[in-house]
Amino acid sequence: MSFLVPFYSLFLFLSFICTYSAPFLLFQAFNWESWKREGGWYNSLSNSVTELASAGVTHVWLPPPTHSVSPQGYMPGRLYDLNSSSYGNQFDLKRLIKAFHQSGIKCIADIVINHRCAEKKDGRGIWCIFEGGTNDGNLDSGAPFEPAPDIDHINPTVQRELSDWMNWLKNDIGFDGWRLDFARGYSPQITKIYMDNTVPNFAVGEVWNSLSYRQDGKPNYNQDSHRNELAGWVRTAGGIVTAFDFTTKGILQQAVLDELWRLKDSNGNPPGMIGILPQNAVTFIDNHDTGSTQNIWPFPSNKIMQGYTYILTHPGIPSIFYDHFFQWGLKEEILKLTAIRRRNAIGPTSRVRILASDSDLYVAMIDEKIIMKIGSRYDVGNLVPQDFHIATSGQDYCVWEKKGAAYIITWSSNL
């Protein structure tokens, strides 16, 4: 039966291409403080399932589900213990996943497999006092993580046991795919092993490296090296997994500060990962690390809707952050953008034609179906043809649809 293996691999690869070419919307369904919710986060989130389905969300990213020495879940210990999670117990989790599935939404588990914590700290404050164990581990295959011991992913036994655990999360708990935390902590070749062994519906890696910066602290215009590193990680990991497009985030959050000329590369294309490998690029504005109460690398708070206008009209796989949708009062504006994306079948590989990229104005046409603009300049000149009409608008943003779209509204005065 070995002759069937290449055909199976080809079928698997093609199925992922078809999946990632279809309309796709990821939603991060937690923030850094969600573990504190009285009554449990899983139970609280169950009240939002119907609303997220109506918004067109196809995949929801849930927090780390296992026992952890930190309440947020990113310092895991007993991997099969889902009853010690600060977000709720195993029963609540399975019930939540079932509710999402009944509404047509896939569930993504936040998988923390770079490191693992013991029950006790040593004198340095590192969670590394395990019972038993050996000293014959291999060298780390990626970036170090100081607070806890790294997992020896080169060991075949470790690979098998982690794959078994991930498949248990799929087959018994109900998860459909993975968000790979701190994926630069182990080599992309290791990521490929887990992708092959678990065959997720969707997977995205967190490969967060710094952009290149000028002496004045602003990003360099050319970030090709940064986005090529992300694309290289994806390809080495087998070409099926996606990666968070940190290049686009870094450029976009600087560009909206009256530097919108940054949004066109030297070839006239989007400058982030979406400009070279859009079907594998997950775009986002903020997450539990960059925003929320950690606020490590936040998007300008008064420009958030310009950011969403960009990622929800452009190629790639856009991700919406819980805080922006449910806590910032932006839900209705975001919903209008997701409806436009669905209505016009804008997807990961949609085509972008940049019509203007000046300091105070960025205009692009996507798939010849919609035109979007962000920036403080009100007048777009003759860039928008007469057969396009406004579908939504707000502070320093606007989206036009080609005549015949489902609905037309009036251009608001606060554009």
CB neighbours of residue 217 within 10 Å: 6
- The confidence score (pLDDT) of residue 404 equals 73
Residue 383 contacts residue 363 (beta carbons within 8 Å)? yes
- The confidence score (pLDDT) of residue 115 equals 84
pLDDT at 196 over 70: yes
Percent of the chain with pLDDT over 90: 82
pLDDT at 400 over 70: yes
pLDDT at 27 over 60: yes
**Distance from C-alpha of 60 to C-alpha of 27, rounded to nearest angstrom:** 5
- The confidence score (pLDDT) of residue 415 equals 45
**Distance from C-alpha of 188 to C-alpha of 240, rounded to nearest angstrom:** 12
Mean per-residue pLDDT, 347-373: 98
- Rounded to the nearest 10 degrees, the angle between the axes of helix 246-255 and helix 304-311 is 130
Gyration radius from the chain CA atoms:
22
353: which strand partners?
A: 365
Residue 5 contacts residue 265 (beta carbons within 8 Å)? no
Identify the helix (H) or strand (E) that includes residue 353.
strand 352-357
CA 259 to chain centre: 24
How far, CA to CA in Å, does 331 sit from each of 23, 55, 101, 324?
Answer: 20, 10, 23, 7
**Distance from C-alpha of 381 to C-alpha of 360, rounded to nearest angstrom:** 13
Mean per-residue pLDDT, 161-186: 97
Q: To which residue do tokens 């010849």 refer?
A: 368
- The confidence score (pLDDT) of residue 121 equals 56
Q: To which residue do tokens 């300049």 refer?
A: 377
Q: What tokens appear for 188 in the block?
A: 């992309």
- The confidence score (pLDDT) of residue 409 equals 40
pLDDT at 346 over 80: yes
Buried/exposed code over 13-46 (b: 16+ C-beta within 10 A; e: otherwise): eeebeebbeebbbbbbbbbbebbebeebbbbbbb
pLDDT at 414 over 70: no
- The confidence score (pLDDT) of residue 242 equals 98
How far, CA to CA in Å, does 326 sit from each of 297, 308, 334, 374?
Answer: 20, 15, 11, 23
pLDDT category, 142, cuts 50, 70, 90? low
Sequence-distant (≥ 6) Cβ neighbours of residue 126 within 8 angstroms: 146, 147, 148, 149
**Distance from C-alpha of 64 to C-alpha of 178, rounded to nearest angstrom:** 10
Mean per-residue pLDDT, 370-386: 97
Q: What tokens appear for 134 in the block?
A: 């050996």
pLDDT category, 124, cuts 50, 70, 90? low
pLDDT at 408 over 50: no
List the catalytic residues: 181, 206
Residue 351: how many CA atoms within 13 Å on its side-chain side? 4
- The confidence score (pLDDT) of residue 152 equals 87
pLDDT at 123 over 80: no
The pTM score is 0.90
When mean pLDDT is compared across 105-114, 133-142, 217-226, 254-263, the lowest value belongs to 133-142
How far, CA to CA in Å, does 2 sit from each of 6, 7, 9, 160, 163?
Answer: 8, 10, 12, 21, 22
Identify the helix (H) or strand (E) that includes residue 179.
strand 177-180
**Distance from C-alpha of 32 to C-alpha of 45, rounded to nearest angstrom:** 15
Mean per-residue pLDDT, 126-141: 48
pLDDT at 312 over 60: yes
